[in-house]
Amino acid sequence: MKSKIYTLLVGIYFGIVLVKTQVVSWFQIHDMFLFKSAYMYLVIMSAIAVGLVSVVLIKRFKPRSLCGNEIVISKKPIHKGVVYGGTLFGMG
């Protein structure tokens, strides 16, 4: 129960951060697609960088979750469908 409350609080905080930084603003998204503002692109690139560094650190130091479980990042098999899907997504 304690971990569910913690997860809820983190989610609420994350939502407040998204609203306060205007990442969920229709105007910001509109300006991004019209190439009027680089703000959203910088946010996306920052998220990718943070995710990349986080994965590298998790793999290197093998930390445990708040519940004490080991964090495991499993490798996903690459097959034809993944290649086609990634290509279509990239072109879209």
Domain-wise residue ranges, the chain: 2-91
- Residue type at position 22: Q
Chain centroid offset of residue 32 CA: 18
- Is 13 a residue whose pLDDT tops 80? yes
pLDDT value of residue 29: 95
b/e 13-23 (16+ beta carbons within 10 angstroms → b):
eeeeeeeeeee
pLDDT value of residue 31: 96
pLDDT value of residue 54: 96
Q: What angle do CA 53, 56, 62 make, to 5 degrees?
A: 125
71 with 62: CB under 8 angstroms? yes
pLDDT value of residue 2: 81
Model-level pTM?
0.73
- Residue type at position 48: I
| SS3 per residue for 7-34 | HHHHHHHHHHHHHHCCCCCHHHHHHHHC
Between 68 and 1, where is the model more confident? 68
User: In the chain, pLDDT over 90 holds for what percent of residues?
Assistant: 83
Instruction: Write down the residue that tokens 């019209």 correspond to.
Output: 34
pLDDT tens digits, one per residue of 31-59: 999 999 999 999 999 999 999 999 999 99
